[in-house]
Structure 1
């Protein structure tokens, strides 16, 4: 599946996102990525916000990003950090890498915006080694019926179109479970320093395991 290009989003998002890193998102990334080791694939690396937080135990990093402008920014960020990373064009629904070859796949605020969540999760499962982990955080739809209905309406009329395909209302945890991952190490948190309305959205955080 060819992903819709979102070049305008790629232009304005990095400056807006930088403020969120200072408010607490950078620390969340650091704690999330600290246990990683071995061969890691990152989905939708954007401008490289995760790059400063990969530990030395990560022996190889491959970052997949569909937007050309983001890839350019990510390469510049990797060079600035002295980080050896292969930054390649691709989509979550058709990852340009071999099967069963990565110890972890990192997706931070990515599954909210992929065109086809089920296809993306099937690809993640394909490229992970048995026992490998999908590691990340995602905002998800609210449990309350009224709020969830409001999120779906906002997605349809405005939010998704302005924010690079992002959806407020997705049941991402349910989709991860339906894809066959063990979600025992996934927990729910709030990220109050994010802009409204995602500051009010539940977030799922942690590691989902591919069966060994």
Structure 2
């Protein structure tokens, strides 16, 4: 079964993403995808927020999304994308796609919510060609003990409100554990101001399949 239903979160997420875009996340998405080329897999594509940012050097995007409502929205967004995009059901932990068949895999605010992040990253590595890129934009575990404590308390309720998302997950530490070499990475707080936010530590980077 590839569907994973979060009906309340799926209704709210496009609104959350729109507010985030006004705060600057569109610039992060553009940075994430700048220089991508060839055949691309996007895991957990959501409602298709990345689609407008794919550069013309990308020849095809295969977008995988397990939540039915978000997937329908992604299909609508795919029709307006500047590059060819096909949307299909599927989960990051079991992609059901050919080995070494993609030049780039994009993971954007999704590895926080998969049930088994190491298995998902191993699947991503499997479908990448040797030397292929994982481009990732994720919120991650904080760098201070105080922030981590805040995140761990938040994770007692946060996953139930946010489609399984866990804010204390050290996704950036998992990536090199499954056979990637991190080529470029930067950490930052987003949003940079406002009330305390357990999901504010972010990382944006490129890792290469060894």
SS in 2 for 1:80: coil
Confirm whether residue 148 of structure 1 aligns to residue 124 of structure 2.
no
Q: Aligned residue for 2:171?
A: 172
Q: Give the aligned CA root-mean-square deviation in angstroms.
A: 1.9
* Residues 114-139 of structure 1: CA deviation (Å, up to 9, x unaligned): 11001100000000000111102111
* 1:46/1:70 contact within 8 Å kept: yes
* 2:101/2:127 contact within 8 Å kept: yes
Q: Aligned residue for 1:9?
A: 9
Give TM-score, length-normalised by structure 2.
Answer: 0.92
Q: Aligned residue for 1:69?
A: 69
Q: Aligned residue for 2:20?
A: 20
Higher mean alpha-carbon deviation, 110-119 vs 136-145, is at 136-145
SS in 2 for 1:62: strand
Give runs of ≥4 in structure 1 deviating > 6 Å. none
Distance 1:194 1:207 in 2: 26
Higher mean alpha-carbon deviation, 188-197 vs 127-136, is at 188-197
Shift in alpha-carbon separation, 1:122–1:3, aligned structure 2, 3 A: farther
Confirm whether residue 56 of structure 1 aligns to residue 66 of structure 2.
no
Distance 1:174 1:43 in 2: 19
Give the Å deviation of 1:143: 2.4
* Residues 158-181 of structure 1: CA deviation (Å, up to 9, x unaligned): 111101111110111111111121
Tell me, which stretches of 5 or more residues in structure 1 are unaligned? none
Give the Å deviation of 1:109: 0.7
Q: Aligned residue for 2:180?
A: 181
Matched residue count? 209
* Residues 90-149 of structure 1: CA deviation (Å, up to 9, x unaligned): 000000211101011001111111110011000000000001111021111112223212
User: After the TM superposition, which residues 122-137 of structure 1 pair with which residues of structure 2 at under 5 Å, given as runs?
Assistant: 122-137=122-137
Tell me, which stretches of 5 or more residues in structure 2 are unaligned? none
* 2:137/2:204 contact within 8 Å kept: yes
